[in-house]
């Protein structure tokens, strides 16, 4: 067991990390906002409308992402869907595409083929487009969590209450709750802070209002006041989902030696399910890939692609993303360890605090960092250090959430057993805890790298002079307005390819935790659950 001194050090480190990530939030108050400013915003009817639309979109996208994410995870891990590995990759692929790119691709495809349809710019259409880009955040943790369900529990449940759906409803879904909550939190905070995609989809949310205040009116006071409203909303979500994750874990019977999960045989449903399963990733990334290829090969290409410029942007992007992932992984560790190993109001609040910065629009966060960096570390302003710090603050929650899943896969009891057998703490960490938690840590690092390489708003403001990332170059081709898939195609294509790489590693890290069947399971049994014979 760890000595209390070590534990205190971790707790202190966690609190310090949370404090630093709350700095940008403090900026909102430093610049002086009164409650009156906030209330004054509601004198305009559009503010309440935007608030209502924000809440509505958030709820709908959360629900859709949950259905898509959990459904896809169940299909891949718990049914006889063919090629589960391939489908795991396909289901994760939407993560590779920046939100504003897929939104514009959908908009642009509609404009090209059905200009009067107005589907993707409707409330429901926008929610579907957004959900298709965000559900992988629910899908990935759900895949991992499904492994954690001991088949023995399901057998017990079936014995106690016979029925086809008993294991799913009584054991599997409840066990998925922490994973669903973690994924949903990421989805919801993304929706709350999303700007580019929402504008392209014609939606008016608190964040688009905040950006309009800054960009169209230069009214930063109003922007900060609205940000405060957004933050209250986010804080409510954070505390709300804490109630979800705060519940105890489901039990298990024989951990560490659990059998492969039981699979539902699709039988005659195999073909329709296959079609639906293929349609989801196709709808999510299809328009982007199609518009990109069309842009790269179209006859209207005026200027040749400057691949040297593309290459420079690519290496810059890779460098920043890699360093951000490294730093975020390091500083997330004490927070994740503290909250999983020593759950207490203090550790849980600290963990929630890390999320708060994720919930304010990136432009406000960037302004806050400009303000703070020019005052605290002027020498580092407009160097990669401040930009990487911004990425770390923005995406730290992704690392913390994944590390929690990883640390949950190992147990305090294992550490205790190791200690009782005489292993010193460091040896326990290296030989017991780390190997079990490693996939979670890697997943977190990859998610951070992925989001950092797609980030635009903060990057525009903080990137060193004369440096470009793939997304800022992509943005430059838009002239601040509409994406033009002719000029943007090389950068969009490169971003998607670059994104596909971490997606591949993510899936590998995830699959390492999940046993998928190698030999195809025996055919013939109609759509019902096959109970594995005890091995």
Partner 1 sequence: MTPSLSRRVLAGALPVLLAATLAACGTASGDAGEGPTLTVYTDQHAELISKLTQAYTDKTGVRFDIQNDATVGQLEAEGSATKADLFLSEDPTPVAQLGAAGLLAPVDKATLDQVRPGLSSPAGRWVAYAARARVLVYNPDLIAADELPKRLADLAEPQYKGRFAWAPSGAFVATTQYLIATEGEPATRTFLDAVKTNGVNELKNGNVRDTVEAGTHAMGLTNHYYWWILATEKGGPDQLASRIYHFPEVDPGNLVLSSGAGVLKSSPNSAPAQEFLAWLSSADGGQQIIAKDPSAQYPVTPGLASAIAGDLSDIKAPPFDMDKLADSAQAENLLKTLGMSSG
Q: Assess 484 for contact with partner 1 (CB under 8 A).
A: yes
Q: Judged by CB, which is closer to partner 1: 212, or 500?
A: 212
Q: Assess 310 for contact with partner 1 (CB under 8 A).
A: no
The interface region with partner 1, picked from 60-68, 219-227, 411-419, 499-507 by CB under 8 A, is 219-227
For 264, phi then psi, to 5°, come to -85, 125
Q: CA angle 176-343-353, nearest 5°?
A: 85
Helix or strand run (H / E) with residue 188: helix 173-193
Q: Are 10 and 337 in contact (CB under 8 A)?
A: yes
Distance CA 322, CA 452 (A): 9
Choosing from 349, 461, 516, 527, the residue that interacts with partner 1 (CB under 8 A) is 461
Q: Assess 235 for contact with partner 1 (CB under 8 A).
A: no
The widest CA-to-CA distance across the chain, in whole angstroms, is 72
Q: CA angle 254-260-262, nearest 5°?
A: 105
Distance CA 208, CA 218 (A): 14
The interface region with partner 1, picked from 90-98, 250-258, 331-339, 520-528 by CB under 8 A, is 331-339
Q: Judged by CB, which is closer to partner 1: 249, or 512?
A: 512
Cβ at position 111, least distance to partner 1 in Å = 5
Please count the residues of the chain. Answer: 535
Q: Are 265 and 530 in contact (CB under 8 A)?
A: yes
Identify residues 270-309 at the interface with partner 1 (CB under 8 A). Answer: 300, 302
Cβ at position 254, least distance to partner 1 in Å = 29
Cβ at position 222, least distance to partner 1 in Å = 9
Q: Assess 36 for contact with partner 1 (CB under 8 A).
A: no
Cβ at position 504, least distance to partner 1 in Å = 16
Number of H helices, E strands in the chain: 24, 0
The interface region with partner 1, picked from 66-74, 77-85, 129-137, 311-319 by CB under 8 A, is 311-319
Helix or strand run (H / E) with residue 297: helix 270-297
Distance CA 345, CA 32 (A): 30
Annotate each residue in 110-149 with x if it binds partner 1 (CB under 8 A) or - if it does not, as one string.
-xx--xx-x-------------------------------
Identify residues 399-428 at the interface with partner 1 (CB under 8 A). Answer: 425-426
Cβ at position 390, least distance to partner 1 in Å = 13
The interface region with partner 1, picked from 73-81, 144-152, 407-415, 461-469 by CB under 8 A, is 461-469
Distance CA 104, CA 460 (A): 19
Cβ at position 367, least distance to partner 1 in Å = 5
Of 291, 399, 491, 416, residue with least CA distance to 17: 399
Identify residues 78-117 at the interface with partner 1 (CB under 8 A). Answer: 108, 111-112, 115-116
Q: Are 67 and 176 in contact (CB under 8 A)?
A: no
Annotate each residue in 38-67 with x if it binds partner 1 (CB under 8 A) or - if it does not, as one string.
------xxx--xx-----------------
Q: Judged by CB, which is closer to partner 1: 150, or 455?
A: 455
Q: Judged by CB, which is closer to partner 1: 171, or 494?
A: 494
Choosing from 235, 423, 429, 436, the residue that interacts with partner 1 (CB under 8 A) is 429
Q: Judged by CB, which is closer to partner 1: 504, or 516?
A: 504
Cβ at position 148, least distance to partner 1 in Å = 22
Q: Which residue has the tokens 């404009």?
A: 111
Of 143, 144, 152, residue with least CA distance to 251: 152
DSSP code for 264: B
Distance CA 243, CA 250 (A): 16
Q: Judged by CB, which is closer to partner 1: 44, or 165?
A: 44
Residues 6+ apart with CB under 8 A from 519: none
Q: Assess 219 for contact with partner 1 (CB under 8 A).
A: yes
Distance CA 392, CA 327 (A): 7
Q: Judged by CB, which is closer to partner 1: 158, or 478?
A: 478
Identify residues 379-398 at the interface with partner 1 (CB under 8 A). Answer: 381-384
**Residue 197: how many CA atoms within 13 Å on its side-chain side?**
30
Q: Assess 12 for contact with partner 1 (CB under 8 A).
A: no
Neighbours of 282 (CB within 10 A): 15
Q: Which residue has the tokens 């938690």?
A: 437
Q: Judged by CB, which is closer to partner 1: 87, or 395?
A: 395
- H helices present in 342-381, as ranges: 345-356, 362-376
Q: Are 37 and 371 in contact (CB under 8 A)?
A: no
Distance CA 4, CA 341 (A): 13
Choosing from 91, 135, 320, 491, the residue that interacts with partner 1 (CB under 8 A) is 320
Q: Judged by CB, which is closer to partner 1: 97, or 214?
A: 214
Distance CA 176, CA 189 (A): 20
Choosing from 78, 147, 170, 209, the residue that interacts with partner 1 (CB under 8 A) is 209
Q: Judged by CB, which is closer to partner 1: 137, or 475?
A: 475
Cβ at position 253, least distance to partner 1 in Å = 31
Identify residues 340-369 at the interface with partner 1 (CB under 8 A). Answer: 367-368
Cβ at position 64, least distance to partner 1 in Å = 23
Binding residue count for partner 1, defined by CB under 8 A:
84
């Amino acid at each position: 067991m760890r000595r209390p001194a070590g534990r205190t050090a971790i707790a202190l480190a966690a609190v310090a990390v949370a404090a630093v990530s709350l700095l940008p939030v403090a900026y909102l108050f430093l610049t002086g906002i009164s409650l009156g400013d906030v209330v004054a915003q509601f004198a305009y009817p559009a503010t309440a409308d935007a608030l209502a639309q924000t809440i509505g979109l958030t709820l709908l996208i959360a629900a859709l992402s949950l259905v898509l994410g959990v459904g896809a995870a169940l299909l891949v891990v718990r049914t006889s869907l063919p090629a589960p590995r391939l489908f795991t990759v396909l289901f994760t692929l939407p993560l590779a595409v920046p939100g504003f790119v897929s939104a514009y691709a959908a908009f642009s495809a509609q404009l090209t083929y059905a200009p009067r349809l107005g589907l993707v710019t409707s409330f429901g259409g926008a929610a579907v487009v957004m959900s298709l880009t965000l559900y992988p955040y629910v899908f990935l943790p759900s895949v991992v969590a499904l492994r954690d369900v001991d088949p023995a529990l399901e057998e017990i449940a079936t014995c106690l209450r016979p029925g086809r759906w008993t294991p799913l409803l009584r054991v599997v879904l409840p066990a998925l709750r922490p994973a669903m909550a973690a994924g949903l939190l990421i989805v919801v905070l993304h929706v709350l802070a999303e700007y580019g995609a929402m504008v392209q989809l014609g939606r008016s949310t608190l964040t688009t209002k905040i950006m309009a205040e800054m960009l169209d009116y230069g009214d930063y006071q109003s922007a900060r006041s609205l940000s405060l409203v957004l933050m209250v909303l986010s804080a409510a979500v954070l505390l709300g989902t804490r109630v979800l994750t705060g519940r105890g874990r489901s039990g298990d019977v024989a951990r560490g030696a659990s059998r492969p999960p039981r699979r539902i045989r699709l039988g005659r449903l195999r073909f329709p399910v296959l079609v639906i399963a293929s349609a989801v990733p196709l709808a999510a990334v299809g328009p982007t890939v199609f518009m990109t290829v069309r842009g790269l090969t179209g006859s209207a290409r005026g200027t040749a692609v400057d691949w040297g410029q593309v290459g420079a942007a690519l290496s810059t992007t890779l460098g920043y993303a890699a360093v951000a992932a490294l730093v975020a992984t390091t500083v997330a560790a004490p927070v994740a360890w503290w909250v999983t190993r020593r759950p207490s109001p203090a550790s849980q609040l600290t963990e929630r605090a890390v999320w708060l910065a994720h919930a304010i629009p990136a432009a406000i966060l960037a302004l806050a960092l400009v303000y703070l960096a020019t005052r605290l570390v002027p020498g580092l302003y407009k160097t990669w250090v401040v930009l990487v710090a911004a990425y770390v603050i923005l995406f730290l929650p992704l690392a913390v959430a994944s590390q929690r899943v990883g640390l949950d896969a190992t147990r305090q009891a294992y550490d205790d057993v190791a200690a009782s057998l005489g292993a010193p703490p460091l040896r326990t960490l290296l030989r017991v805890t780390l190997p079990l938690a490693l996939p979670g840590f890697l997943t977190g690092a990859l998610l951070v790298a992925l989001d950092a390489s797609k980030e635009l708003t903060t990057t525009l403001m903080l990137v060193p002079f004369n440096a470009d990332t793939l997304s800022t170059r992509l943005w430059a081709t838009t002239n601040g307005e509409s994406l033009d898939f002719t000029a943007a195609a090389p950068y969009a294509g490169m971003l998607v390819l670059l994104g596909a790489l971490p997606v591949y590693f993510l899936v590998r890290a995830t699959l390492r935790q999940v046993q998928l069947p190698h030999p195809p399971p025996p055919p013939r049994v109609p759509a019902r659950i096959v109970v594995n014979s005890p091995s």
